[in-house]
Homo-oligomer: A and B are copies of this chain.
Amino acid sequence: MTEHPNSMGSWLKTGVIALATSLTMNAASAAEGDIIHDGEYNFLRAQHGEKWDAQDVEIGDALAAIRDANGGKPPNILYVLIDDVSFGQMGSRKMNYVTGFETPNINQLADESLSLMRMYTEPSCTPTRTAMLTGRHPVRAGVEEVKVALVGEGLSAEEVTIAEILKEVGYNTSHVGKWHQGDIEQAYPHNQGFDWAAFPLHQQVQLSLMTREAMVANNMLGFHASGQSGDFAIDQRFKPYGLVTGVEAEAGGLAREVDMAPGEEWTQAKYEDMNQRYQDQAIEQLQKLAAQDEPFFLQYWPLYPLNFAYSDQARSRNGGFMADKMEVLDDWVGELMTALEETGKADNTLVILMADNGLMYHYEGTSGLNQLIYRGGKTQHLEGGVRTDAFVRWPAAIEAGSAAGDIIHVSDLFTTFARIAGATDHIPRDRVIDGVDQTALFLMGEGNSRRDYVYIYEGPVLRSIVKQEFKMHMPAPGQPGAAAPVFNVLRDPREQHAQVGYSLWSGASFQDMLKRHQKTIAKYPHLPLGKDAPYGGIENLRPESELARQVFDSWQ
């Protein structure tokens, strides 16, 4: 077992005077030029700042040495974000036996990586992606959950993405696959820092469930016109229609829809073609980017390759209609890693693979996926919604086969990528950055995280606060902190046995954490979500999409 320094012990040893000094120093260092962090992080920095500053000198030297050995360049970054997969569903032979499907390529990646055993995401696709792109809790950018149909909303142009930051220091950047940051022009990846992007404008529910096939498979009842009688239906616009599917674009240019001709019907076969195309494009982009002199940042965010019709040719022992597709995803990861090796640049490429949130548990029992260890799934603040397998591979700098039980949050990737790329100076200083620099954790390993807390939102609502092994579910409105259920996630990973003792002793401490978070919000209020007419900047909008857009405008 790794020794964890007893931070409360060090705190007490520091004494009141040293503490006061430290807090003053921190206040001073929060002046112009410093990143604005959440109050909780500042509270930790006041306890550990000196140690962290000393570590940062070492880390700076280490990064410089790696750059020097790499022609002066920082590493490439390949970020693979998989859709809706729960903790334990990839990367472990033992768990493969439990689930009955195999992930040999991801298991191998895990063996070559630092496994982050306590990676927290947001509970749903859009917010997790916003957190990673901006280093901010999505709620600070006005982002909650992007809905399935037209919304005229999305990631604001005012937000600064990691792609924009990496571009500042010379990275070439590409995005392939799911994006899900809104249907307005400013939110598109090629307008948010990516040189090139191929992505669907909406997401997999639209793309895999809103089909005639999914209705016939008993999973999207009544969606398709052919499955409705239409009797008594007055509103002909109740369901989404004419939605734009996959588009491609270069930075600053117009997007072009590539899947659909006017009047065509979206089908399962088209969805599968789209998934395969993104896989092929991810590899093409990897090869193209690796052939250039500049360092690269490639985001490959595959859609979950769902088919809601039950297969008559099971692939895995599990055979469930979602479970089998984990093996498809694993194949894709294997191809991608082989392609990376073939570029000859794998040693200096930081690869991160993880999922964006827990499984779509709604189809549990038939899909073949299940909640496994943690209770809950996508959309929920429970551990099953926000814990995911996460692996970080960087042969030049990260110990293969290592693991860390430290808490880390997906927003930390923003800050950490920036640091590793030498782009920290380009992180904006006028807004809160929740992401913490975790370079120490990556390079020095377990026990070196700079957070032991996470605030968990469902959309705009704070639902849980995690601190160390404890987790408080927020009490019902008007209820005191001592009435909040508090769980120990090591002893009770399914959050089913709230211990009255915990909330009695931890209630005040959790309330203090809440206040530190709220004070930060009061000082730096949330910024607004981007809003605009939907489907801007698409050069070949189909007539049905244009109609959908007009209908949407008509009631705004």
Residues of A within 8 A of B (CB): 1, 4, 88, 92-95, 97-100, 102, 115, 117-118, 316-318, 320, 323, 327, 364-373, 403, 405, 469, 488, 490-494, 496-497, 499
Determine whether the beta carbon of A492 is less than 8 Å from that of B97.
no
Determine whether the beta carbon of B1 is less than 8 Å from that of A102.
yes
Determine whether the beta carbon of A493 is less than 8 Å from that of B370.
yes
Determine whether the beta carbon of B316 is less than 8 Å from that of A492.
no
A100 to B470, CA, bound (A): 12
Determine whether the beta carbon of A491 is less than 8 Å from that of B94.
no
List B contacts of A4 (CB < 8 A): 317
| Interface SS of A by simple majority | loop
List B contacts of A371 (CB < 8 A): 494
Supposing A95-B94, A499-B365 touch, asked if A492 and B1 sit within 8 A by C-beta, the answer is no
Determine whether the beta carbon of A405 is less than 8 Å from that of B97.
yes
Determine whether the beta carbon of B1 is less than 8 Å from that of A316.
yes
A499 to B488, CA, bound (A): 33
Determine whether the beta carbon of A490 is less than 8 Å from that of B317.
yes
Q: Which residue from chain B places its CB closest to the CB of A490 in the assembled complex?
A: B100
Determine whether the beta carbon of A499 is less than 8 Å from that of B318.
no
Total identical chains? 2
Determine whether the beta carbon of B372 is less than 8 Å from that of A493.
yes
Minimum C-beta distance from A408 to chain B (A): 13
List B contacts of A368 (CB < 8 A): 490-491
Minimum C-beta distance from A266 to chain B (A): 28
Q: Which residue from chain B places its CB closest to the CB of A94 in the assembled complex?
A: B92
List B contacts of A117 (CB < 8 A): 94, 97-98
Minimum C-beta distance from A175 to chain B (A): 31
Determine whether the beta carbon of A365 is less than 8 Å from that of B97.
no
Ordered by A's residue number, 25 sampled pairs between the chains whose C-beta atoms are within 8 Å are A1-B102, A1-B316, A1-B327, A4-B317, A92-B92, A92-B94, A97-B118, A97-B405, A98-B493, A100-B405, A100-B469, A318-B469, A318-B488, A318-B491, A320-B491, A323-B490, A365-B492, A365-B499, A366-B491, A366-B497, A366-B499, A367-B491, A369-B491, A370-B494, A372-B493
List B contacts of A493 (CB < 8 A): 98, 370, 372
Determine whether the beta carbon of B318 is less than 8 Å from that of A490.
yes
Determine whether the beta carbon of B88 is less than 8 Å from that of A94.
yes
List B contacts of A100 (CB < 8 A): 405, 469, 490-491
Minimum C-beta distance from A465 to chain B (A): 19
Minimum C-beta distance from A404 to chain B (A): 9
> B323, B373, B496: which contacts A491 (Cβ < 8 A)?
B323
Q: Which residue from chain B places its CB closest to the CB of A389 in the assembled complex?
A: B94
Minimum C-beta distance from A7 to chain B (A): 14
Q: Which residue from chain B places its CB closest to the CB of A93 in the assembled complex?
A: B403
Determine whether the beta carbon of A99 is less than 8 Å from that of B490.
yes
List B contacts of A492 (CB < 8 A): 364-365, 370
Determine whether the beta carbon of A469 is less than 8 Å from that of B317.
yes
List B contacts of A370 (CB < 8 A): 491-494
Q: Which residue from chain B places its CB closest to the CB of A1 in the assembled complex?
A: B102
Minimum C-beta distance from A253 to chain B (A): 44
Minimum C-beta distance from A392 to chain B (A): 15
Q: Which residue from chain B places its CB closest to the CB of A498 in the assembled complex?
A: B365
> B317, B320, B373, B488: which contacts A98 (Cβ < 8 A)?
B373
> B99, B373, B405: which contacts A317 (Cβ < 8 A)?
B405
List B contacts of A499 (CB < 8 A): 365-366
